Structure 1
């Protein structure tokens, strides 16, 4: 339990970096940031795949197909939506919407996977879910008040950002459930190997996406300087950092947590990503969070601490008469 929680914490700290990229590259299209990040992830995975080629060779065609699905929805589509949301609404609002993932995943997993993982009793799970939801509401209220006080705020762009963040939530509700299915079905496989496999599966998707984006922008006459934009070296460096730390090492840590913890519990620990993203956003803003934001963060932490104390109860299979 402790080891799995620490792995989830590490994944959250690393995944929080993905909220920084759109803020540091506001002039870059979200789609370019997505394919750039995962192109870096795929290239980083190639030498790792060579070193781990014996384990990768054990993967079946079905395994590789699953890795492609996870890469397409949990990586590329998720990050396009997230980066677009951050560019339209700023970091805190999408971060808070993404912050509902612990609640959404915990409920989904408890309904879906209780026969495999055991059921987390709703009466004991409810306080942690309530604390997390209250924490998210507190932070969200601060951001909404700031939005109303800004005369230059574009409400349409904020609404678009919120909608895109909801699509990102849907993508990342699906991803950890399917990812955990594979990991729990293959307890003999290394989480490192599965992270590398997803990186290798991402590479052709990212290359195809990059080519389509480049040709599409040229056909539409966009003046954005492809292929690397107006700040090429900064773009390359940032994509490499996010690709290594957030994509590969973060996925490795998350896989390790998913093998050790019930899916309903590990889903709640995505709250670490929310906390890290908020911390990085306020560092970039150069100021401390408001008191109500700090209260919300405290509630989130209390909710997680409560959640890790809840133990799953075995579900007794019902007997079926012939």
Structure 2
């Protein structure tokens, strides 16, 4: 039991690291300087691809554990869950402002909790009501200030909604598919799986470069590639690439193996929390009373979810009437605890 609890706590810590890294996706529109968002995203994901190639080389001994189909799947997940998700997040912030996109992404923990518990019931639905309600209320309170922001044009607002909801859809699909396949892989293949995701994101970005150039969306060719002109762009691209993509992907994959989806889904709420705090920092102000109350409610909801899952790891309280341990959280955690 102690080993299982330790596994859950480590998983929670890793999930916090991943969500903090992912929150850096939301600052991309604020750090481009004279360059465009396309420049930042192109440089970032090309760097990600290079890091991924390095990871594959370091983990080449693990290639025997993955079939060709699994390698392509990992690359496709990277293209969708890293590149496409990052682009949608940045575009949502650019078109809809700093509040709309975090608010939409804040729906992910609630949706994943419902999907996860429906697919593999870890706790009774009644026990999830309080943390889900707390999370939902907190996310609404922390983002309701958007009603008082200067009005956006209808086209810009619709574009922000489209990209924000696209990010939600991409993340839901990524989470479900990634968790399903991670639990079937040997623990030794986790590093390679993550590296292949990075290669997929970087390879897709490389394939898109001719299209970006054809539509004159990149400012690097005109403003200059030198460090004197683009040094800040390179630095921010590398920071976001390392933290949001590399560290975030590794930490989430490691956390996924240790946590049932119903808990990992709750912890994704921290991404919205961190994104809101970073957005406020870039705007040079602190949270209002309503925003602070909402952020506190999010944290309370996450803590409640963790305690409920930890309490639910008692086998005696969760076994089926026929004595089977198949749906026991302890059994699931033991079976999925194959990470590094």
Q: TM-score range by the shorter chain?
A: 0.7 to 0.9
State the partner residue of 1:185.
184
Question: Which stretch shifts more, 196-205 or 123-132?
Answer: 196-205
Give the superposition deviation at 1:58: 2.9
* Equivalent residues of 1:131, 1:300 under 8 A apart: yes
* Equivalent residues of 1:187, 1:259 under 8 A apart: no
State the partner residue of 1:301.
299
Give the superposition deviation at 1:229: 5.5
Question: Which stretch shifts more, 226-235 or 45-54?
Answer: 226-235
1:9 is matched with which residue: 7, 12, 16? 16
> Residues of 1 paired with 2:13 and 2:262: CA distance?
16
- 1:1-322 superposed matches below 5 A: 1-25=8-32, 28-111=35-118, 113-114=119-120, 118-144=121-147, 146-147=148-149, 150=150, 153-214=152-213, 216-218=214-216, 224-227=218-221, 232-311=230-309, 313=318
> Residues of 2 paired with 1:211 and 1:314: CA distance?
57
> Residues of 2 paired with 1:282 and 1:203: CA distance?
30
Give the superposition deviation at 1:86: 0.5
* Equivalent residues of 2:14, 2:254 under 8 A apart: yes
SS of 1:90's equivalent?
helix
Structure 1: 5+ residue stretches without partners = 318-322
Q: What is the aligned length?
A: 305
Distance 1:14 1:278, change over 3 A: same
SS of 1:186's equivalent?
coil
> Residues of 1 paired with 2:243 and 2:319: CA distance?
36
Distance 1:98 1:274, change over 3 A: same
Aligned-residue CA RMSD (Å): 2.3
Distance 1:263 1:68, change over 3 A: same
> Residues of 2 paired with 1:175 and 1:259: CA distance?
15
Structure 2: 5+ residue stretches without partners = 1-7, 313-317, 323-340
SS of 1:289's equivalent?
coil
* Equivalent residues of 1:16, 1:276 under 8 A apart: yes
Distance 1:232 1:69, change over 3 A: same
SS of 1:308's equivalent?
helix
Using the size of structure 1 for normalisation, the TM-score is 0.87
Give the superposition deviation at 1:234: 2.1
Question: Which stretch shifts more, 96-105 or 158-167?
Answer: 158-167
Distance 1:315 1:97, change over 3 A: farther
List, as ranges, runs of 4+ consecutive aligned residues in structure 1 with deviation greater than 6 Å.
none
